[in-house]
Amino acid sequence: MILRRYTRLMMALAGLVVAYPGGAARAGSDALQAACFAPDALRALDGEKVITRGNHDFDVPPKSGAAVIPATPIEVARRGAIRRVDLPKGEKLIALTFDLCEQRGEIAGYDGAVFDYLRREDIKATLFAGGKWMRSHRARTEQLLTDPLFEIANHGENHRNLRLLDSPSIQSEITGPQLAYDSARRRLATTQCAARAPDGLDAVPQRIALFRFPFGACNASSMTAVNDAGLLAIQWDVSAGDPDPHQTPQMIANAIVRSVKPGSIVVAHGNGRGWNTAAALPLVIPKLKAMGYSFVTVSELLARGKPVIAGSCYDTRPGDTDRYDFLLAGAKAKPPLGATPIETGSLPWLTDSKAAPEAKAKPPASSGTPLPPTWPF
């Protein structure tokens, strides 16, 4: 890993372009990361994975007065919930994704062992980060966005269920992470260490391009708002199942290996809500490599094929994330007027003809009870 990183660093310092397995090419930002962070600063810290509840320090975003960078709305053909990518025959690429979300009244964790392993093995991944998480983990956010292995994506401001929000609240959830990302990028730009790698910041995109719905739950109004903001909506077709404390490392590895296919998008967690995630990686990554797979970011995966777009947002079957409407808000809660679910066939951008209509949400037997601390996505 040290030799690979040294080679990329020398190329970055020389102003060269680094080619990656996914076919995309971009200037390496190892120079910026090396200038700003010592190797020891990147490593996991004891206790950093632990979630702290009852802390409201970062609940309210600071009033910076900054505006979100304008973006072109997503074209019709790419609107909707992207679950995976159809690749040309013979290409075996997959995208690992890790959610870094945080709700109000808590400080979520940072599973440093996950990122230590990915760096050690030179594995690329896309990180869906919440705005609040980025604000409460400033140093880690700056480390991650300077790392050429990782792509930063949007996972909502406070990890709220967008199906239950009115339009202004939906916009806040969408724009919050971009503002937090902008703030982190500006902080780096003003540091003395960034001056030692003057071109390094050019490799860090100015805006986030991908969005993952909190809880994997959406409806027509929230999907439209996300796509109109210039964000592709990224779901997944393979779940690690790591929010379940009963999942052993081997069970997580088996679940991924059993379900993965070329073009798959795998969801896992890097914020302390994943049980045994880091321990599962040394089991599953070598196996996937032996099966011929290479690892790319979601954006690189999308650049190599055609996105498979579903008519609704779900985990394994249409309608299965509707339960969060009731688990989070109580059985009597109702979505705001006009916040209707997406139904298969109702979207002009629908390309996944095999998707089933979204099931009507029904409150579970335990509706009204608080969501357990192991809620996924």
pLDDT in tens, 49-75: 999 999 999 999 888 777 888 899 999
Q: Regarding predicted confidence, which is higher, 66 or 111?
A: 111
In a domain, 342, yes or no: no
Rounded Cα distance, 183 and 187, in Å: 6
Q: Where are the alpha helices (DSSP H) in the chain?
A: 2-13, 30-36, 39-42, 112-121, 131-136, 138-145, 167-189, 192-195, 220-228, 249-259, 277-290, 298-303, 324-329
In a domain, 116, yes or no: yes
Which residue pairs from 136-141 have beta carbons closer than 8 angstroms and sit at least 24 positions apart in sequence? 136/57, 136/58, 136/102, 136/107, 136/108, 137/100, 137/110, 138/184, 138/187, 139/41, 140/110, 141/180, 141/181, 141/184
By CB atoms closer than 10 A (0-12, 13-18, 19+), residue 59 is middle
Q: What angle do CA 116, 52, 375 make, to 5 degrees?
A: 80
pLDDT of residue 110: 98
In a domain, 49, yes or no: no
pLDDT of residue 8: 52
250: domain CATH number is: 3.20.20.370
In a domain, 118, yes or no: yes
Q: What angle do CA 82, 339, 73 make, to 5 degrees?
A: 45
pLDDT of residue 172: 95
In a domain, 52, yes or no: no
Q: How confident is the model at residue 359 (pLDDT cuts 50, 70, 90)?
A: very low
Tell me the average pLDDT across 212-218: 97
- How many domains does the chain divide into? 1
Name the residue range of residue 249's domain: 2-43+76-329
In a domain, 184, yes or no: yes
- The rounded percent of the chain whose pLDDT value lies above 90 is 72
Task: Give per-residue pLDDT as tens, 25-43.
Answer: 343 378 999 999 999 999 9
In a domain, 169, yes or no: yes
In a domain, 29, yes or no: yes
Q: Which residue has the tokens 């309210």?
A: 60
Tell me the average pLDDT across 17-23: 36
Task: Give per-residue pLDDT as tens, 117-149.
Answer: 999 999 999 999 999 999 999 999 999 999 999
Give yes or no for residue 156 having a pLDDT over 80.
Answer: yes
